[in-house]
Chains A and B, each alone.
Chain A
């Protein structure tokens, strides 16, 4: 064995290993074990020490805090997130569509964020909701917007002595919610494209409008510029604003492969949501 791998029993031990050996945290293993697989009968070799933190109880749990945030600890799985009634709707939808059942029982929210794939399922709705990530190192902790934590494809602001410990999602009520993941099949599909959108409409005024695109650039994309075109405007003005909004969103995304398909499909999903906002008979989850 080229390098030593570890199983810390407490978060404290894990943080010390992270500081002293910069050991790579393995949570569910569903990315690391595939990326480093060597074949039958051979243990995956990451080339650096790995610490298997799958069973650290301190990193489990989902709870509603009294400061307006829902906290999901880093080792919670898509299965538990999808079945939680306190996790916001968009995040539950994305969790429920990840992989298939066995993967949803193994993968973790911390791993999905740390892997920072632009096609990762959970960062997209989390960034829509202005979720924050908490990272810890020996003796300290910092907290930042997930949108700022993920720097680009496979790149995060995680330092080599830090571990992702939890995700904090601000609780917010929306009058209109939309989520779509497009993959080649319903199970086990990596997203070709995904989109979340949400709005708050009261008395004909768009009080809040936001959207986030997954798999349409090096990281999850929100366009504050595009969102601001609709915010605080009247619903009746949407037909006049729609073209500018779609154009602004199209400038914000930068799909790498099949860009025309991804741009066209993204525009169609956004227009579908905008049309629903104008239909007074439609509220809640927009299908």
Chain B
């Protein structure tokens, strides 16, 4: 039986001692200060809390921290200063993807998870990849174009 949860967040070892039903988002935001992870709906529908767990996009508001035991979690803070993170950030800026910005950390994580798996996504692939991320400002078109831009500009970065 595990008496604590041990996992990595953005490459750093984290030990959590407490109720394993604690939501991962609360550990990330409140205990670790990673406030780039946003809480929107709180029920896994809007994607604002998206993080990457062992290479897969997940919604941290409906994941108990106990499920993260032994895993590698990546948040927007963990990719921000990497070449891939910078590539997506600049593409979102240049493509005009951001209005209020609340959904954007989740969108960036969804785009990152997509581009890691699919280096040359079609528009349909991108729309599918961000289909669990809701944006009430942009109407999505500029976000889709910006992800395309990140794929084109990144080129070999994603291979």
Q: Which 6 A-B pairs have the closest CB atoms?
A: A100-B132, A187-B131, A52-B66, A7-B2, A54-B67, A33-B62
On chain B, the residues within 8 Å of A175 by CB distance are none
The one of A1, A44, A54, A106 that contacts B23, using a Cβ cutoff of 8 Å:
A44
Which A residues have a C-beta under 8 Å from some C-beta of B? 1, 5-9, 13, 26, 28-30, 33-34, 37, 39-46, 50, 52, 54-55, 79, 99-103, 105-106, 186-188
- Interface residues in B113-159 (C-beta closer than 8 Å to A): 113, 128-129, 131-133
A-B contact pairs, 27 of them (CB 8 A): A1-B19, A7-B1, A7-B5, A7-B20, A7-B66, A9-B2, A26-B64, A26-B67, A29-B67, A34-B44, A34-B62, A37-B62, A43-B19, A52-B66, A52-B67, A54-B67, A100-B47, A100-B133, A101-B129, A102-B44, A103-B44, A106-B62, A106-B63, A186-B131, A187-B131, A187-B132, A188-B132
For residue B134, which residue of chain A has the nearest CB?
A: A188
A55-B58 in contact (CB<8A): no
Q: Is the interface of A mostly helix, strand, loop or mixed?
A: loop
On chain A, the residues within 8 Å of B50 by CB distance are 102
- Interface residues in B22-76 (C-beta closer than 8 Å to A): 22-23, 26, 30, 39, 42-45, 47, 50, 53, 56-59, 61-64, 66-67, 69-71
The one of A45, A46, A99 that contacts B132, using a Cβ cutoff of 8 Å:
A99
Most buried by A among B56, B61, B110: B56
* A227 smallest CB distance to B (angstroms): 35
Given contacts A30-B44, A52-B64, A102-B132, contact A9 B1 (CB under 8 A): yes
Most buried by B among A8, A42, A52, A54: A52
Which B residues have a C-beta under 8 Å from some C-beta of A? 1-2, 5, 19-23, 26, 30, 39, 42-45, 47, 50, 53, 56-59, 61-64, 66-67, 69-71, 110, 113, 128-129, 131-133
A13-B66 in contact (CB<8A): no
A33-B63 in contact (CB<8A): yes
* A215 smallest CB distance to B (angstroms): 19
On chain B, the residues within 8 Å of A42 by CB distance are 26
With the chains together, A50 CA to B58 CA distance in Å? 21
A7-B63 in contact (CB<8A): no
* A97 smallest CB distance to B (angstroms): 11
For residue A4, which residue of chain B has the nearest CB?
A: B19
Given contacts A33-B63, A101-B132, A102-B132, contact A79 B20 (CB under 8 A): no
B69-A7 in contact (CB<8A): yes
Given contacts A105-B56, A106-B58, A106-B62, contact A43 B21 (CB under 8 A): yes
For residue A80, which residue of chain B has the nearest CB?
A: B56
